[in-house]
Chains A and B, each alone.
Chain A
Amino acid sequence: MSNIKNISLNINGQLHTLEIKPYVSLLDALREYLDLTGTKKGCDHGQCGACTVLVNGKRVLSCLTLAVMKDGAEVTTIEGIDHPLQDAFIEHDAFQCGYCTPGQICSAVGLLQEGKAHTRAEVAELMSGNLCRCGASMEIIDAVMAVKDGGIHA
Chain B
Amino acid sequence: MRDFNLIQAGGIADAVGKSTFIAGGTNLVDLLKYNLASADTLIDINEIGHNDIQQLPNGGVLLGAMMTNASTAYHPIIEERYPLLNKAILAGASAQIRNMATNGGNLLQRTRCYYFYDAASPCNKRVPGSGCSAIPGYNRIMAILGHSEHCIAVFPSDMCVALAALNAIVHISGIDGDRILAFADFHRLPGNTPHLDNNLQPGELITGIELPAEGFSQNYSYLKLRDRNSYAFALVSVATALDLDGDVIKDARIALGGVAHKPWRVPAAEDYLKNKPAVREHFEQAADIILQGATGFEHNSFKIELAKRAIVRNCLMALDPSCQLPGAQPSS
Of the candidates B3, B99, B230, the one whose C-beta lies within 8 Å of that of A3 is B3
Of the candidates B5, B26, B46, B231, the one whose C-beta lies within 8 Å of that of A64 is B26
Interface residue ranges of B63-91 to A (CB < 8 Å): 70, 74, 90
A58 proximity list for chain B (CB < 8 A): 70, 99
Flag A88-125 by CB within 8 Å of B: 1 or 0 each. Answer: 00000000000000000001001100101001011011
Determine whether the beta carbon of B6 is less than 8 Å from that of A64. no
Determine whether the beta carbon of B94 is less than 8 Å from that of A129. yes
Flag B216-239 by CB within 8 Å of A: 1 or 0 each. Answer: 000000000000011100000000
Q: Is A11 an interface residue (CB 8 A)?
A: no
Interface residue ranges of B1-16 to A (CB < 8 Å): 1-6
A5 proximity list for chain B (CB < 8 A): 6
Q: Is B97 an interface residue (CB 8 A)?
A: yes
Q: Is B256 an interface residue (CB 8 A)?
A: no
Q: Is A66 an interface residue (CB 8 A)?
A: yes
Q: Is B29 an interface residue (CB 8 A)?
A: yes
Of the candidates B44, B70, B96, B327, the one whose C-beta lies within 8 Å of that of A61 is B96
Q: Is A74 an interface residue (CB 8 A)?
A: no
Given contacts A45-B33, A64-B29, A125-B230, contact A3 B96 (CB under 8 A): no
B85 to chain A, nearest CB (A): 16
Determine whether the beta carbon of A107 is less than 8 Å from that of B29. no
Of the candidates A119, A128, A130, the one whose C-beta lies within 8 Å of that of B327 is A128
Q: Is A23 an interface residue (CB 8 A)?
A: yes
Residue of A nearest to B29 (CB): A64
Determine whether the beta carbon of B100 is less than 8 Å from that of A69. no
Q: Is B323 an interface residue (CB 8 A)?
A: no
Determine whether the beta carbon of A49 is less than 8 Å from that of B6. no
Q: Is B213 an interface residue (CB 8 A)?
A: no
Determine whether the beta carbon of B30 is less than 8 Å from that of A22. no
A86 to chain B, nearest CB (A): 19
Q: How far is the CA of A66 from the CA of B97 in the complex (A)?
A: 14
Determine whether the beta carbon of B231 is less than 8 Å from that of A128. yes
Q: Is B131 an interface residue (CB 8 A)?
A: no
Determine whether the beta carbon of B95 is less than 8 Å from that of A64. no
Q: Is A60 an interface residue (CB 8 A)?
A: yes
A23 to chain B, nearest CB (A): 5
Q: Is B129 an interface residue (CB 8 A)?
A: no
Determine whether the beta carbon of A44 is less than 8 Å from that of B94. no
Q: Is A59 an interface residue (CB 8 A)?
A: yes
Q: Is A25 an interface residue (CB 8 A)?
A: yes
Q: Is B196 an interface residue (CB 8 A)?
A: no
A66 to chain B, nearest CB (A): 6
Determine whether the beta carbon of B95 is less than 8 Å from that of A1. no
Residue of B nearest to A129 (CB): B94
Q: Is A134 an interface residue (CB 8 A)?
A: no
A119 proximity list for chain B (CB < 8 A): 326
Q: Can you name 14 A-B residue pairings with CB atoms under 8 Å? A: A22-B6, A23-B1, A49-B96, A60-B99, A61-B100, A65-B29, A66-B25, A69-B6, A69-B25, A107-B95, A128-B94, A128-B231, A129-B95, A131-B231
Seen from chain A, the residues whose Cβ lies within 8 Å of a Cβ on chain B are: 1, 3, 5, 21-23, 25, 44-46, 49, 52, 58-61, 64-66, 68-69, 107, 110-111, 114, 116, 119, 121-122, 124-131
* Further contacts, 5 of them, CB under 8 A, given A1-B3, A66-B29: A23-B2, A23-B32, A64-B26, A114-B95, A129-B231
- 9 closest A-B pairs by CB: A129-B94, A128-B230, A22-B6, A125-B326, A128-B231, A3-B5, A125-B327, A58-B99, A64-B29
